[in-house]
Structure 1
Amino acid sequence: MQARIGDNVALTAGILSVVSLVIVFAAALQAIPTALIPRAPDAVLDAIPTLNAVVSLAAIGTITAGVRAIRRGDVERHRKLMGTSFALFVGFLAMYLYRVTLIGPASFAGPDAIEQFVYYPVLAIHILLAIASLPPVYYALVLALTRPASALPSTNHARVGRVAAALWLISFALGIVVYLLLHVLF
């Protein structure tokens, strides 16, 4: 199985990206029946945005440290940090999907001018970068999981990984801005 996936990295990354996006859009568009999901207490649901902001900050830290580790040649530290980054992403996504499935997307409560000229543009860029980051993140991850570290320099792992890390960092940072606009400032 690992060999088959390793021989079809782009296809695997594409499939994982499509499946991820279908799940995210199904949750955001309220297409997942809430009766299938146990409901946590409101305090837990209310805490998820703040927890996700903390997870996003942690992911920014682990991605940045992972990039620095590989630049110094510390492959094992890089691998651990990027694995941690992916685990943080999965945790973020699970909490976000859980909340948005049960409650729906948050609405902006601030002034119309801020909503139109700040919130929506930041949200749109955040969403587009989150979508755009999926294929390279999955591609780099699948390469890393299906090959020994010594074989990765002969692949597109480093090139794609740089793109993935940049998109991921900006998306996480803009997600924090969205959080601040929705849950702190307004």
Structure 2
Amino acid sequence: MELRARDRVPELTGLLTVVALALVFGAVLGVIPRAALPVAPEWFLAAIPHINAVVSVLAIVVILAGWRAIRQGQVTRHRNAMLAALVLFATFLVLYLYRVSLEGPTDFPGPTAVEQFVYFPILGIHILLAIVCIPLLFYVLLLALTRSTGEIPTTNHPRVGRVAATLWLVSFALGTVVYLLLYVLY
């Protein structure tokens, strides 16, 4: 199995990306029937944006720690941090998609000018980066899982990983700004 996956990283990346994005767009566009989902208590649904804000800030810290670890040659620490960041990302995404599937997207409560010239551009860039990150994250993850530690520096993992981590950080940071605009400032 490992040898076949090892030889098919781009194909597996494409397959996982299509499945992940189908789930994301299915939830956001309301394709997933609400009746198919268990309904959590209202207090939990209301807490999801706040939980996700904490998850986002934690993810930023963990990604930066992973980046620092690999720069210091601490491969195990880097791997653990990046796997933790991936778990945080998955947690964020599951909670966000669950809430959106049940309640739809949150309307911006602030002034129209702020919505049009601040909120929507930030939200758009955040969403675009999050979508772009998905195949990059799958790619570097699959490279890491199908190669020995000694082989990874000779693959695209370091180069693509730097791009993925940078975009991931910016996406999480902008997501935090979106949260602040929706739930703190307005």
Task: Indicate the TM-score class for this superposition, using the shorter chain for normalisation.
Answer: over 0.9
Per the TM alignment, residue 57 of structure 1 is displaced from its structure 2 partner at its CA by 0.4
Query: Structure 1 stretches of 5 or more lacking a match?
Result: none
What's the CA shift for 1:33?
0.4
Give 5+ residue unaligned stretches, structure 2: none
* d(CA) in 2 for partners of 1:51, 1:4: 39
Which string of whole-angstrom CA distances, capped at 9 and with x for unpartnered residues, describes residues 30-56 of structure 1?
110011111000100000000001000
Size of the alignment, in residue pairs? 186
Partner of 1:99: 99
Cα separation, 2, equivalents of 1:127 and 1:67: 23
- 4+ residue runs over 3 A deviation: none
Alpha-carbon separation, structure 2, partners of 1:42 and 1:15: 35
Distance, in Å, in 1 between the alignment partners of 2:102 and 2:120 is: 23
Q: C-alpha root-mean-square deviation of aligned residues, in Å?
A: 0.8
Shift of 1:2: 2.4
Deviations 1:122-144 (A, max 9, x none): 00000110011111111000011
- Tell me how far 1:155 sits from its aligned partner: 0.6
Counterpart for residue 6 of structure 1: 6
Give the % identical residues.
58
Map Cα deviations across residues 106-126 of structure 1 (whole Å, 9 max, x no partner). Answer: 111110000000000000000
Mapped partners of 2:22, 2:43: distance in 1? 28
Report the Cα distance in structure 2 between the residues aligned to 1:2 and 1:47, rounded to whole angstroms.
40
Residues 1-40 of structure 1 mapped to structure 2, 5 A cutoff: 1-40=1-40
Q: How far off is 1:93 after superposition?
A: 0.7
